[in-house]
Amino acid sequence: QVQLQQWGAGLLKPSETLSLTCTIYGGSFSGYYWNWIRQPPGKGLEWIGKINHSGSTNYNPSLKSRVTISVDTSKNQFSLKLSSLTAADTAVYYCARGVGDPWGQGTLVTVSS
């Protein structure tokens, strides 16, 4: 059974860059798109972007200028970088395979000075 384990810094300052990594256990990259999704506290879900095993990406236009999603197939990992953080980027960030099976456990990222 495929599992996703994600990690990264949870407390960042305004203008800094968020960096999160998601490792895939029990499965391979091929045949799927791998997504990042976020959820501000008490609010709904926002799709950030996706990547496939060959590195082809799609980003949400609302974040595109600040987002980079990359893949390291040798480590079965994919990563998210979000630059120029503001308080509005405070959210739980999730990685997920395909249309949502499975999801990572989520990482709360707080942006505060």
Task: Enumerate binding residues for another protein (CB under 8 A).
Answer: 35, 44-47, 58-62, 94, 96, 99-101, 103-106
| CB of residue 109 to another protein, shortest distance in Å | 15
| Cβ atoms 15, 66 nearer than 8 A | no
| CB of residue 111 to another protein, shortest distance in Å | 21
When the beta carbons of 87 and 108 are compared against another protein, the nearer one is 108
Long-range contacts of 86-90 (CB under 8 A, 24+ apart): 86/14, 86/111, 87/14, 87/111, 87/112, 88/40, 89/18, 89/38, 90/40, 90/41
Tally the residues of the chain: 113
When the beta carbons of 29 and 94 are compared against another protein, the nearer one is 94
| CB of residue 74 to another protein, shortest distance in Å | 26
